[in-house]
Every structure is written in C-alpha cells, then in structure tokens.
C-alpha cells in the first residue's frame, strides 16, 4: 500500500479541473488553429460566410507569402507553360512568379535580432545577477532599483530620443541597433529574474568548489550555471517573446535592412487586395520559432513562472 | 600534511567581532576539535584557514608558509561542510571526482576511477556511485561529502560538524572510521562539533572558543579535568558540571573562590549534606539523579539499578572540587 495524502484530489475534483483545463486550452487554441487553417484556404474560402471549417486545402497563401507576382497577357501565359506547382497555382489569376518576396529576409532578421538580443540579455543578465547576488557591491540596492526603473514606463515613451540617437549614431535600421535596443529593454527583467534564481543557490556549493581547487570563474561555470539552468531557460523565453513580438520600435527604426517580420506582415495586405491566406501563412510561420523554443524549454518554464515559491 | 598556525588573527563582520586576537597552533598530524556554542567563532576559524574569509588582522600559516594572500584552491585544504555540500547536478561518482579533476590537480582518469572506488568502499557507498547526488539520503550525502575530502591528499582537513545530520548509529560508525582514517593518513585535521563524545573520542587536542577568543587549548583530558575557567568546564561533560556557591558542600575553599565546580561523578553519596531527590532518569548504563540542595539544583550519577524515588533524601559530599573566582577563572 502506498502512502496517500489526505488532501489528494477526489475523482470529482480531478474531473472538474480537467474540464476547466480543456475549456481554457480550447479558448486559447481556437484562434491559433483558425489562423493556421486560414493559411491553407483559398482567398474565397478565407472570407466566406458562414466560415468554412471543411475546405479544400491549397498552398496559395504560402506561395503568395514567399513570392512576388505580376499579371501577364494571355499570349505570354500560353507561350510560357508553368514551370512548377507554385507557378501553376498563380496561373489561375493570370499571374506569373517573378521572384521571392521579402518575407524570407524579414523572417531571418527576426531570428537574428530576436535570438541575438535574447542571448545578449541572458548572458549579461546572468553575469550581473551573479555579481549582485554574491559580491558586496556599493549601492547594490540602488543600482538594482535603477535597473528596474527602466521598466517603469512603456519603452515607446522614449521612442523619439532613441530615434534621434540612433540616427546620429548610425544605428537606425541595423541589426546591431535592434539587438542593442531589445537587450536594453530586456536586461532589467533578466537581471531581476536571474538574481532571484541565483540567490536561491546556496553559496556553499561555490565555496566547496573553490576549496576543491577551482577558481571563482570556474566555480561559477561548473557549479552555478548548471543549477541556474532553469532560471536561464525561463528568462530566455520571456526575453525572446518580447523581442520576437516587438512591433512599435521595429516600425519606427527599421525600413529595409533590419526590418523584422512583425512590421512586414501587415504590408502583405496591400498586395492585390486583402490576401488573408498569405497573412495567416506569415503569422503561422512567425509563430513557429517561439513555439518550438518554448516547447523545448517548457519544463523549465513552469518553475520560471512560480520561481521562488517551489523548492527543488 | 602540515601544521597550521594562527597568530593574532581577528575577523569582524560589520560591527560583530567573530574572531578576536586568536593564537592557535595546530601541530602536524593533530586531530583538533573546536568546541563552543553557536556564534563562538568555530566555523569562522575554519573558513579563515580555508581562505573563504580574509582576516582583518593577523597571519595564517599552513606548513610554515603564510597563506593570507592565497586563494582557497592554492591553500590545498579540504573542507567538509555541515550541509549543502554535494553538487546536486552531478552523480556521486562525479562529485567524488570533482576535486581530482580540478585544474590544480589534473588527475588522470584511470587514477580518478581507482581513488573514487577506494573511497566509496571505505564509506560503504560503492553501490551508489552512479546515483544523482539528490537521490541519496542525508547520511549518504554526508558520507559522499566526507569522501570528497578524502579522495584528495591535502595539507589540512577542515570539517564543520560533518556528523551532525546523521543518525546515532551511522555517527558512531563514522566516528570510528574518521579516527581510523586520521591515524592511517597521519593527517592534520580541524574539526568543529557540538558533540562531546566526538570531541572526547577523536581529538588529540581540544580548543574551546568563547565569543571569538580561544579560551583553552589542550588534550581532551586536560580540558575535562583542568579547565581554566568555569566556561570551559561547562563545555565538556554530560550531564554538565554543577556550579555551586562555595561553602554549600563545606569545602576547604582557597581564598578568592566564589564558585565550586563539581562534575556529576565527583559527588559522593552516603555522607555530607542532605539533598532531596527531585527526579530520577534511568538511562540504562547509568542513572541520573536530580537533587535539590537547599535552593540549588544538583545533578549526579548513581548506580544504574538504583531504587531511589523522587522525594527521598540522600547525603552528598564533594570530591575533587574545582574552584572559580567571581570572573569564572580557576583558583587553586
């Protein structure tokens, strides 16, 4: 016989909890599912009323997302038979593919800027948090408050000074500029979150490592980092979600070179009417990296959200 | 192995003095037990020697060399902590191998395997080597933690209440084991404990600390039989020494003596003054008698099969009393 806690949930409680979780999951997942489905619809199906749940799937949205097309005369179309399946899809509107769209580039920019700033925030945040947690720093509390104070207003409130500063420094519309900007916004979150995690790691571990023949940096690397992995992972998720979804600064500071996906996706609307399937396809692809990243690190995330409350 | 010397060492944390002008000389190969209540500076002494704290003043020497400016790694000491001593993300094997793999030792892997196996056998944990450190019981963790000190061959071993979290049987086993290891390695060992049996059975020397000062340093017997102060006398002995006003048990007290210290075993029964039995504790191998002598409580030992009951009156007299003056210093 195994031990049985007196406060273990009854079957009825489990049933109620299960139902609530399922209902909540449905509520949050239906919009996502709808976007993903819309990506595979034809433009007509996408705006049909009543909405179609069952439809004939097509890759039209994805083709439109990744290509630029021009309308051609019937003679031209007759003289040049379609080269591939994508070509065939656009022929039904008397169009031909003339080249790739900017989406791939913008998506890559998002990856570089999102992951770059996440890495930098977490890297600097971990070092700073370790220092705040372990060393006697003059005015440590004031410094921590100062770091937090950067979050006390909406970042966009300083948009104009940043815009002017970036123009003078030549950081406008550069990857580096966007990485630095998102890092600056995320670093306070990273320092505060990670300090909480590192505070929880007993100093004795490092002291034992120091005595076992390691330098402080080696002790940090070999003993503190592995134990802070949970905190680092959840901090990284929060930083990535912010940098990945950021819209206002991206619109303001980037145009061609370093434009990320969020300001680009709405511009698809302008190309040949309201192309909902292409937008939905763009959003679907845009969601994937954060989704995969979060799923990979999900076991850390729960502890990240409840940090400080749960003992290992 | 090496001797350890502290000269005039002081250490304060903010306004609190942890160690005051400590002079301590630990001979090569000695097993020194530091005794004292919480806050007396025992752990701070170990941490100063280990290099985890820097002294405010004074000099620390290990093996004749001044180590004040050296990092813990450079000092070549091993330390067993009271708790949180294992790296939770590593297996037992990797925990034991951790000091051997340090950049200072750089031991070859085959030597590591062999040493880890040897130490695991001494501590009866070879079957746990591939477990995660977090999957061990408290006793096993502490054994691994002692093992991590033993795999090395440091100048000095420092142990901060290493057995305090273990159950009684394991504690007794490890006490014997540590004593044997000490004899075999001829290691210099500094050991902090609250436990009198550990102090009496393992130590070659005992140092008694009071508020950061080293009050007395000597063999366990010397500390027990010839304490310099009433404070030292109270640190060793279970039950504690009885401290009574002079004259109560009609002693021939030297001048200046205010208090008389009587070990429980030094109270003779059968003659002398009347005392009332208030409580009888049968411990199996001994029986403790709690007595009321006038307004004072006195504890003594009696025959294990004693049939005394609370309320009865017996006669007691002093034997080998120790006298102290008003400040608690010994008077002879």
* Burial classification of residue A46, based on how many CB atoms lie within 10 Å of its CB (0-12 exposed, 13-18 middle, 19 or more buried): buried
Q: Is the peptide bond before B239 cis (omega within 30 degrees of 0)?
A: yes
**Chain B interface test: which of A208, A223, A224, A225 (most B C-beta within 10 Å):** A208
**Chain A interface test: which of B13, B48, B84 (most A C-beta within 10 Å):** B84
Chain A positions touching B52 (Cβ under 8 A) are: 207, 210-211
| CATH H-level, domain A104-305: superfamily | MetI-like (1.10.3720.10)
Flag whether residue A312 sits within 8 Å of chain B, measured between CB atoms.
Answer: yes
Flag whether residue A226 sits within 8 Å of chain B, measured between CB atoms.
Answer: yes
pLDDT on residue A69:
85
Flag whether residue B106 sits within 8 Å of chain A, measured between CB atoms.
Answer: no
Q: How many CB atoms lie within 10 A of CB A215?
A: 17
Query: What are the contacts of B143-147 at 24+ separation with CB within 8 A?
Result: B143/B174, B144/B86, B144/B92, B144/B95, B144/B96, B145/B80, B145/B81, B145/B85, B145/B86, B146/B80, B146/B174, B146/B178, B147/B96, B147/B119, B147/B120, B147/B122, B147/B123
- Answer yes or no: do B89 and A214 touch at CB < 8 A: no
pLDDT digits (tens, 9 = 90+) for A72-82: 888 888 888 88
Confidence category of residue A270, pLDDT binned at 50, 70, 90 = low
pLDDT on residue A97:
86
Residue B59 has pLDDT above 50, yes or no: yes
Flag whether residue A227 sits within 8 Å of chain B, measured between CB atoms.
Answer: yes
| C-alpha span between A216 and A214 (Å, rounded) | 7
Domain positions in chain A = 104-305
Confidence category of residue B1, pLDDT binned at 50, 70, 90 = low
pLDDT digits (tens, 9 = 90+) for A221-234: 998 998 888 889 88
| Inter-chain CB pairs, A–B, below 8 Å | 60
Nearest CA in chain B to A223: B87
Flag whether residue A97 sits within 8 Å of chain B, measured between CB atoms.
Answer: no
Domain with CATH 3.40.50.300 in chain B: 4-234
Chain A positions touching B87 (Cβ under 8 A) are: 205, 208-209, 223
pLDDT digits (tens, 9 = 90+) for A222-269: 989 988 888 898 899 999 999 999 999 999 999 888 899 999 888 877
Nearest CA in chain B to A224: B87
For residue B54, the distance in angstroms to the closest alpha carbon of chain A comes to 14
Given CATH 2.40.50.140, say whether it is the number of domain B239-331.
yes
For A39, the 3-state DSSP assignment is coil
- Residues B152-180, mean pLDDT to the nearest whole number: 85
pLDDT digits (tens, 9 = 90+) for B260-282: 888 988 888 888 888 889 999 98
CA nearest neighbour of B212 among B51, B56, B50: B56
pLDDT on residue A311:
38
Flag whether residue B205 sits within 8 Å of chain A, measured between CB atoms.
Answer: no
- DSSP for A205-255 reads HHHHHHHTT--HHHHIIIIIHHHTHHHHHHHHHHHHHHHHH--HHHHHH-S
pLDDT on residue B217:
93
For residue B38, the distance in angstroms to the closest alpha carbon of chain A comes to 19
Q: Which fold, B4-234?
A: Rossmann fold (3.40.50)
Interface predicted TM-score (ipTM):
0.81
Domain with CATH 2.40.50.140 in chain B: 239-331
pLDDT digits (tens, 9 = 90+) for A18-32: 999 999 999 999 999
Chain B positions touching A223 (Cβ under 8 A) are: 87
Q: Which of A207, A213, A226 sits opposite B102 (nearest CB)?
A: A213
For residue B97, the distance in angstroms to the closest alpha carbon of chain A comes to 10
């Amino acid at each position: 016989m195994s031990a049985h806690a007196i406060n273990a949930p009854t079957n009825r409680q489990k049933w109620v909890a299960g139902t609530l979780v399922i209902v909540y999951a449905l509520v949050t997942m239906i919009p996502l599912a709808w976007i993903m489905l819309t990506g595979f619809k034809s433009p007509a199906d996408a705006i049909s009323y009543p909405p179609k749940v069952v439809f004939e799937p097509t890759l039209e949205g994805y083709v439109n997302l990744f290509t630029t097309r021009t309308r051609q005369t019937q003679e031209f179309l007759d003289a040049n038979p379609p080269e591939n399946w994508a070509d065939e899809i656009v022929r039904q509107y008397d169009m031909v593919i003339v080249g790739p769209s900017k989406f791939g580039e913008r998506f890559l920019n998002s990856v570089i800027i999102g992951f770059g700033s996440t890495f930098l925030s977490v890297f600097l945040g971990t070092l700073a948090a370790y220092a705040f947690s372990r060393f006697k720093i003059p005015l440590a509390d004031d410094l921590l408050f100062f770091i937090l104070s950067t979050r006390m207003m909406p970042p966009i409130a300083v948009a104009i000074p940043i815009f002017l500063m970036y123009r003078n420094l030549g950081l406008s519309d550069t990857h580096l500029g966007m990485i630095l900007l998102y890092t600056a916004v995320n670093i306070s979150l990273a320092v505060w979150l990670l300090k909480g995690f590192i505070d929880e790691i007993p100093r004795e571990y490092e002291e034992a490592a120091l005595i076992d023949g390691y330098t402080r940096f080696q002790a940090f690397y070999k003993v503190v980092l592995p134990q802070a992995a949970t905190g680092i992972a959840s901090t990284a998720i929060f930083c990535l979600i912010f940098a990945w979804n950021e819209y206002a600064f991206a619109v303001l500071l980037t145009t061609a070179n370093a434009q990320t996906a969020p300001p680009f996706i709405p511009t698809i609307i302008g190309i040949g009417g309201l192309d909902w399937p292409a937008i939905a396809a763009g959003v679907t692809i845009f969601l994937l990296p954060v989704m995969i990243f979060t799923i990979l690190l999900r076991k850390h995330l729960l502890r990240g959200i409840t940090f400080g409350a749960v003992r290992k | 192995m090496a001797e350890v010397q502290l000269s005039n060492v002081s250490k304060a944390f903010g306004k609190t003095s942890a160690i005051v002008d400590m002079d301590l000389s630990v001979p090569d190969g000695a097993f020194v037990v530091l005794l004292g209540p919480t806050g007396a500076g025992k752990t701070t002494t170990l941490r100063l020697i280990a290099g985890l704290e820097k002294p405010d003043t004074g000099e620390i020497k290990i093996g004749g060399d001044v180590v004040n400016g050296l990092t813990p790694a450079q000092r070549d000491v091993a330390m067993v902590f009271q708790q949180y001593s294992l790296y939770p993300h590593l297996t037992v094997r990797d925990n034991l191998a951790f000091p051997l793999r340090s950049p200072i030792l750089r031991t070859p892997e085959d030597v590591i395997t062999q040493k880890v196996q040897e130490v695991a056998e001494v501590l009866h944990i070879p079957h746990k080597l591939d477990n995660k450190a977090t999957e061990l019981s408290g006793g096993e963790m502490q054994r691994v933690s002692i093992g991590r000190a033993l795999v090395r061959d440091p100048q000095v071993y420092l142990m901060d209440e290493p057995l305090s979290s273990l159950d009684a049987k394991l504690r007794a086993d490890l006490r014997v084991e540590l004593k044997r290891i000490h004899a075999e390695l001829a290691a210099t060992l500094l050991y902090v404990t609250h436990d009198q049996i550990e102090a009496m059975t393992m130590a070659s020397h005992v140092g008694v600390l009071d508020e950061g000062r080293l009050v007395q340093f000597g063999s366990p017997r010397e500390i027990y039989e010839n304490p310099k102060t009433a404070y030292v006398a109270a640190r060793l002995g279970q039950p504690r020494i009885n401290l009574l006003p002079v004259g109560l048990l009609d002693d021939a007290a030297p001048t200046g003596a205010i208090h008389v210290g009587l070990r429980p075993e030094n109270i003779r029964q059968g003659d002398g003054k009347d005392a009332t039995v208030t409580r009888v504790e049968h411990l199996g191998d001994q029986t403790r008698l709690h007595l009321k002598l006038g307004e004072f409580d006195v504890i003594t030992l009696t025959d294990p099969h004693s049939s005394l009951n609370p309320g009865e009156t017996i006669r007691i007299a002093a034997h080998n009393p120790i006298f102290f003056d008003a400040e608690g210093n010994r008077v002879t």
